[in-house]
Structure formats: structure tokens, C-alpha cells
Chain A
Amino acid sequence: MDDILKLFADFWSNTGFALADYRYIVMIAVGLTFIYLGIAKHYEPLLLVPIGFGILMGNIPVFKGLGLAIYEDNSVLHYLYFGVTSGVYPPLIFLGIGAMTDFSTMLARPTLMLLGAAAQMGVFLTFLGALALGFEPNHAASIGIIGGADGPTAIFLSAKLAPTLIGPIAIAAYSYMALVPVIQPPIMRLLTSREERLIQMKEAREVSKLEKIIFPIVGFLLCCFLAPAALPLLGMLFFGNLLKECVVAERLAQTSRTALIDIVTILLGITVGASTQGDVFLTPSSVGIFILGALSFGIATASGVIFAKIINFFSNESINPLLGAAGVSAVPDSARVVQMVGQEEDPSNFLLMHAMAPNVSGVIGSAIAAGVLWSFMN
């Protein structure tokens, strides 16, 4: 009888109920919130549902030594997480993004690219803020890139510069990307007048097929000669776009924008979520990262809008300053938000296509910013 009781006691001591502490419970609540936001509110469901479930997976308290937890060598999750820590997944996601992105609105009106550059001010101002709060330079650079509003770029840079902070940085980046429809509109309304929000954009010129084919090659060569550290991200982004535009490699483009990006998104979401193990994740620095991330996002949005107003001051052709908010590279959510805020004032104002220009140039801008920070920190 004693043996049976002892076995039961041993079994109980190895269950999640006995091993759990409040940190795991808090993180499970966070995971459930992510799943709720993804399913019920449709906030980036393709990201929040895998990340949310990954958080649940990472916060089942397990007996150390069994090779189950993500931070234990030889665990299955640890092997899958290698794609994150080695920086393999983000370039593959960029390949898919390139293969699904139509750069024609940007090619038709290249001036709007400057809004994508302006929004990167958020990255560098947050870098300064993180330094001021006492973060190490490598960590500060990784935190700053949250303002680029680009999850894969944030993960890529963190994997290179601050591997211990990948979890909080990735969760902060994806959370704020999902919350674009909540965070951006108040800032956009605060910084623009009704007259400015009513500005209608001129119809863009038609872009030829040849231009679309030349662009990824020229863009890749220029950007990577300027910031070689952005090669893994921009190389894959422009390669994916070339596959799409050249037409003759449609099968590869199709795979990149569907099966490949979906598989990588699943692996990335699950493992990033699982990396938020309560005892590792819930630290004061994680809280600092979340606060700085929110600031970074706000500054990036405001920088884009203000820069659009500056362009209007000097240019004869007015652009709707709301487009500046799409300079953060949350594609296509921030462009959709611009459309939504614009249509609140005038239902006949269609800004979505125009907003895609700063939106996709923001992707290029944040990858260059990541490359620059990486090279400086090395």
C-alpha cells in the first residue's frame, strides 16, 4: 500500500498542478488573451493564434531533465526554436512577403517611400530611450527595432544581438502589430486636421511589367550595397518579389507565398510563444520592453504623419498625411487603418492603394535599420 501511495505522490509531484507557480498562470492567461483576440476580434489571427497556443505550450510546468521544455537541450521544441535563435525563419518569411507584395503603388509614386523612411525614426528614438533606461547597447538596438513594426525583422535582430530577449521582443512586436487598429487611429487623429484627412490622392500612373521586374534587382543591389547586414532579409524579400513579377517562376512564387510562409509562420508562432516560459519571461526587463515597444510604435506612427505634413509644406502636390502612419511596416494592417480613418471623414476617399506605398517601403526601411544597427553593434 505504501508503494502505491508513494507512486501516487511521485506522480503528483511531477504534474503541472504541483509544479505550477503564479508566473505560469499569468502567462497562460496571456496566451488565452492572444487566442481570444485572434479568434474573436480578428486581430492578426494568423499570428496571434499560433503564438497564443505556443504560450500555452511553453507554460505547462514540466519536470526539468525530461527534455520537454523549449530551453532544454534535445527537446523537440528546442530544435524547432533553433529556426528562431539562428535567424533562419525571418528571411523565409520575407521570401513569402516578397512573393505576395505588389510594389506597383510605390513604383508609381516613389515620393511616398520617404514616409516609410520617416517612420523608422521610431526605431532610433526608442534605441536612445532603451539606452537611457540602462539597457545594454545590443539589447537597446533589439528593443528599438520593435518600432519598425515588423515581427520577423525584430526576431532576426534579437537573435543576432540579444538572444535572451527574443521572447519578450517578439511578443511585444507581434502584440503591437496586432493592435495597430487600436494604437494608430488616436495618434493619427491627434496630429491631423479634418481638412488634411479629407485630402484625396491623385490617381497613380500605370506601372509597366518591366519596371516591376527591374525593381527587385535594382532595389536589392542598392539596399544591400548600402547596408550589407540587411542581406538575409532584403535578399529574400526582393528575390521573392522577382519570382512573383517575372511570371516564368510562378510555381516557386506560389509556394513561397502560400505553403512555405504558412509553415514558417506556424513554426515561428508556436516557438516564439513557447519561449515565454513564465519563470524566464516575467522579469522587470520584459515589462520595460513592453513599455518601450508601445512608445516606439507610437513614435513611428507620429514620425510618419508629421513627415507627410512636412512634405506638404514644401510640395505643390498635397498628400494625405494619414498615409504617413502606414510607414510602419505592419503590412497591410496599417494601410487598412489609414483607409479606415480616411473613410470615417469621407466615405468616397480610397486611400488603401496609396497607403500600400509607404507600407511596403517601411518593410524595406525597417530591414535597412536592422542591418545598420546590427553592423554598428558588431
Chain B
Amino acid sequence: MYGFEAISEHNGWAISIVGVLIVFTGLVTLSLLIRVFPKIIEIIEGTGKPKSQSKKSEKGSLRPEYSMDDKIKEKIKQYQYLISWMGEPFALPRLIDLAQKRGLDRPHATISQFIHASVIQPDGKGFYLWHAS
């Protein structure tokens, strides 16, 4: 038996529709629960008010401020060395490539942090400049 006849014979339509609905129900319910996690945690911890951080990122600009902790300072040193070797202005894919070859930790995430913190800035011509003080 082939085609639609086979699908109907084996109850395929119903299985597929119910299957998709169950998968969606599971993940939608889980996502709704995850959404209330921060509020539940606030209640558990008894602080009363939701943390300002999540509110801040909702309301505030797309580029939140980053604090330069020691870890980031260390990363800046590593990348500064790479960029001094490459020369400025530099291409981001090349910087990522070099960082990966040197075995630096999570280059995409680190460079993203640098861009958000304006340590790396676009030169307007498709390349980037290093602005760490």
C-alpha cells in the first residue's frame, strides 16, 4: 500500500498532528516555566523585587555596559598582542581565525564582548580598530 492510502490506513495523519502538538506543548510549557524562574527565585530568596538586571536589559539600550574585571583585562592583553602582530585596521574573521589557532578561549564571545565594550570599533570601511586604554 502506498501514498495517502497508506498514511490513512496506518493512522499517520493523526499520529503526526498529535505528535507535533505534544512536542510543542512540552517546549511551550517549559519555556513558560523558565520565564517565571527569575520571579520564583526572587520569592525564594525573599528579596521582594525582581533583579534590576533583567529589567535593565529590557528597557535599556541594546549595548549594556560591561565592567572590566580582571578576566577581561587578561583577555584584552592577549588580543592586544594578536592585533599588534596583525596591524590596524584589521578584519574580524582574521582575528577570530588567529585567536582560534592560538587556542584562546571562546573567541566569538570574547570579541563580541570587546565590540559591545567599544574596545574594538568599526572604522566605517569594513575593518576594525583597537581602542583599549
Binding site for B on A (CB under 8 A): 106-107, 110-111, 113-114, 116-117, 120-121, 123-125, 127-128, 131-134, 137, 140, 200, 202-206, 208, 210-211, 214-215, 218-219, 222-223, 226-227, 339, 343, 347-348, 350, 352-353, 361, 364-365, 368-369, 372-373, 376
Contact = CB atoms under 8 A, between A and B. Distances in A.
Contact of B91 (A111, A114, A339, A347): A347
A107 B126 CA distance: 34
Contacts of B30: 110, 113, 218-219, 222-223, 364
B23 A368 contact: yes
Contacts of B32: 110
Nearest to A120: B23
A121 B26 contact: no
21 contacts: A113-B30, A114-B27, A120-B20, A123-B19, A127-B15, A128-B12, A132-B4, A203-B64, A211-B34, A218-B33, A226-B26, A227-B22, A339-B108, A350-B112, A364-B26, A364-B30, A368-B23, A368-B26, A372-B23, A373-B15, A376-B18
Interface residues of B, number: 51
Interface of B: 1-4, 6-7, 10, 12-13, 15-16, 18-20, 22-35, 37-38, 40-41, 44, 53-54, 57-58, 62-64, 91-93, 108-109, 111-112, 115-116, 122, 126
Q: Chain B interface secondary structure, helix, strand, loop or mixed?
A: helix
B29 A222 contact: yes
Report the 4 A-B pairs with minimum CB-CB distance, sorted nearest first. Answer: A110-B31, A124-B16, A350-B112, A117-B27
B2 A134 contact: yes
Nearest to B126: A347
A15 B12 CA distance: 48
B27 A113 contact: yes
A107 B12 contact: no
Contacts of A376: 15, 18-19
A369 B19 contact: yes
